[in-house]
Structure formats: C-alpha cells, structure tokens
A and B are shown apart, each in its own frame.
Chain A
C-alpha cells in the first residue's frame, strides 16, 4: 500500500527546494506539494504585504497545435476565444453537455499554438475531453506538465522586484496578458495573472532549466519584505478572500457556470458544449446562487455545512476559512436564489450548533491598487 503510494505520487522539479525550505509536504491531487513552510496565516499575510513564491507545477499544461485548435477550443470552452490576440490569456470553463463544469482553465493564445492550464485533479479528464473533441481534426495535443515548471510570484512587491531584475517590460504587461520568448537560450512564458487577489506573475519554463531559474529566484528570496515561499494552505485562504472559485468546492460537474456565479466567463452567443442548458437556465432564472457569508464568531464553516433560514435548509457551504486579512470567519455557499441579496441574515450549522451569518458582497478582499 505505502509502496504503491510512493511510486504514484509525483514530485515537481522544485521538490528539493521545498524540503530545503522546511516545507510540510502533503499529497495533493497525486502530487507531493508544500502545504506550508512557516505557517499558513504568516504566508498569507506576507503575500498581501510583500511577495510570495508558489510552486504551481502540479497544474496541467496542455499545448494545442494545428489549424483546428481554435475551433476545438471554441467548442469546448465557455469563453469567447476567437478575438483573443497572441499574448492574451482568458479564464474559461469546460463543461459537459448538461452544462456541468468539468474544469476551470486558463487558455492562452501564442502566435501559432494555444496553451490550456487546467487543475491537477482534472488533468487526465481534460486531456481525454480535448482528445475526444479533436478526433478527426487537425489538432495535436502535447501534455507538457511534467516537462515544464510553473511558479507563481504574487504580492505587491513582485512587479517592482522583477522590473529591477529582469530585462523584460513586465511592468507594462496588462492583467491576463503574457510575454514569451527565449532567455539565455531557454523558452519562457510570463503571465500577469494569479490566484491570490494580488498583482503578480505566473512563469512557465522547461524543467531542465530549473537550476538556472532557481538561481534567479534565489536572488529575490529573503529579507522581511523579500520573496518568501508560500504553500497550498495560503494559496487556498488567499483565493477564498478574493472569492476565486476552486474546483471540487464551488465548481463541479453538478453545477453550471451561471449558477456558480461565473457568467462573466460564458458567451451564450457562441456555440459551445453546455451552452443550451445554460441558455434555458438564464431564461428560466436561477434556483440557487453562490454567495459570500460572513459568520459571527471565530468558528469556521467547512465544506458541506448546511445553511438555514427560518428553520429551513436553504443551502450548503462550499468553502470556509478564518480570513487572516479581515480577522473574520468567511465562507462561500450556494443558497436559494431569493436569499442571495447582501445583508440577508442566515444561519450556518457548525456540527450541531448554529452560527449567525450575513450575506456579503464579493470579493471579501480586493487589493487597493
């Protein structure tokens, strides 16, 4: 049993770095990943205040080439991609015929190919889904997850530091735009994006040049305001404060993109898999909505905690935490659509005890600049 586990769990090229930095490692979607280095809250607050380095190499990186790549992606993705320019990324969902969410992805357009970044837990499913919808078409898919490294640098200190260290116009890059090219002989992509609610970049380079990149990152590490490593624990509390959905929590195959509050990444005017049920849903109105809750007290509402109104069960928590930035217990929950207005008073069941909760506007946290 334990042997089986050891041979199956993957390590990113940064594994040794994590161990050297004293990380507490956990198995996440089949990858041995850092949960934390010094403490989740400390890493969270450092990201909000300064700059953090996250290893996100476990996320799937799928390259699509061929003259039908755009058509296949247009069919599979909820988002309009036809007008995306080379150097532009777009957040999108991939849905099944019922409109159920198979994954949330970031699709990036290069000059002559596309890159789909998907969740680690859904990689095999998305590869198979893309292959199935590419059948008979001029598309080749290359899974580059294990031949590349992806790191996210997040926090207000990131762009100023990179501007100083890198001979690239990072500061001019708009959000959801990216630069790509060759640097000292290796290919790189730098995206102005992230999953923390802070400014920053996500970088992809070949796994083989990790020592070189590690050296560069090393020059950014250290100091009270310098770059520090942060783990998956902080990544989760940061994304939750920023009200960014997480697959397996707010998003799953039993919920559609509209109900999940992500209509902004859906173009119902184009033809894509899952569009028809979503059009009907928009016409008939939603029965439940995703809301933000602020709970009384310090207790945390965990996933699947039931939400009540006037003694009646009206919904379910999808994610909850104690917000390090706000010092409050916060949660995302699906509730009956008529109870989704900010200011609505609800109750959350915390293991037999009820806690008062108020619907609040999302996101819980928004950076000032």
Chain B
C-alpha cells in the first residue's frame, strides 16, 4: 500500500488533517476508504456549522457499513466538498486529494500536535 502523504496529520480513527494557515482540510485515509469498501454516501455539515474537537462531524456510508467521521479540531465549517454528493466514490479513488470532505477555520490548531505524522500512521497500520 502506498504510504500516507507527509504533508498532514492523522488520527487513530483514520481521518487526515491538512493545515493551511488557520484552515484545516479534513478527509479519511486510503486505508479507511479501503476498509469501508465502496462508499455510497457522505453526510457532511453545512458551511457555517460549528464543530467541537473530538466530536463527530458527519457520517460515511459504504455498501458494507456506516461510520462516524471525527474532527480533531473545533471551529467553523467554511466549505464542504460538493462533488461528493454525486460522486462519493471520489473518497475511494482519491482519498487524500479529490476525496477531501470539509474545510474548517480552526479555533485552535493545538489538538493536531497530539495526532500522528505520516510515518507514525503508517507504522500503526503496519502493526495492524
């Protein structure tokens, strides 16, 4: 399996967080997408929604299962990936790029310090 991109942080629950200024883009990893199998629906919060760090921000459905999506940072949703409404399979096909889910203007970036970097995340997957 291709390793995780080094330009972002990773949670135990397989979300990725990419920082640009105070805006954090959130998605799920290739591993998570593969585990879910074919994704059929992504339920995302509307722009303007306030998120709380450590809480679910949405749900993802696949042929196999429904799972919650968690955010490590709190803040306001400023954009959601509108393409996922008609093409949820982008999360499978391009987990780290076109399959991004939301952009959050973070209240505080500090919680990201507790997350894994790409090497640590890959190591976690290696351990199984």
Contacts and interface: CB of A to CB of B under 8 A. Distances in A.
A237 B88 CA distance: 18
Interface string A4-47: 00000000000000000000100000000001100111100000
Given A302-B66, A321-B63, A35 B37 contact: yes
A321 B66 CA distance: 11
A163 interface: no
A300 B37 contact: no
A299 B41 contact: yes
A40 B41 contact: no
A41 B38 contact: yes
Interface string B27-54: 0000000100110110100000000000
B92 interface: yes
Contact of A300 (B34, B61, B89, B92): B61
A322 interface: yes
A237 B63 contact: yes
A39 B61 contact: no
B127 interface: no
Given A41-B38, A298-B40, A322 B63 contact: yes
What bracket does the count of chain A residues touching chain B fall in? 10 to 19
B38 A298 contact: no
B40 A300 contact: yes
A322 B41 contact: yes
Interface string A278-307: 000000000000000000011110100000
Interface of A: 24, 35-36, 39-42, 233, 237, 297-300, 302, 321-322, 351
Given A41-B38, A233-B37, A298-B88, 16 more contacts: A24-B37, A35-B37, A39-B38, A40-B37, A40-B64, A41-B63, A233-B63, A233-B64, A237-B63, A297-B41, A298-B61, A299-B61, A300-B40, A300-B66, A322-B40, A351-B59
28 contacts: A24-B37, A36-B37, A39-B37, A40-B37, A40-B38, A40-B63, A40-B64, A41-B38, A41-B63, A41-B89, A42-B38, A233-B37, A233-B38, A298-B40, A299-B43, A299-B61, A300-B40, A300-B41, A300-B61, A300-B63, A300-B66, A302-B66, A321-B63, A322-B40, A322-B41, A322-B61, A351-B59, A351-B66
Interface of B: 34, 37-38, 40-41, 43, 59, 61, 63-64, 66, 88-89, 92
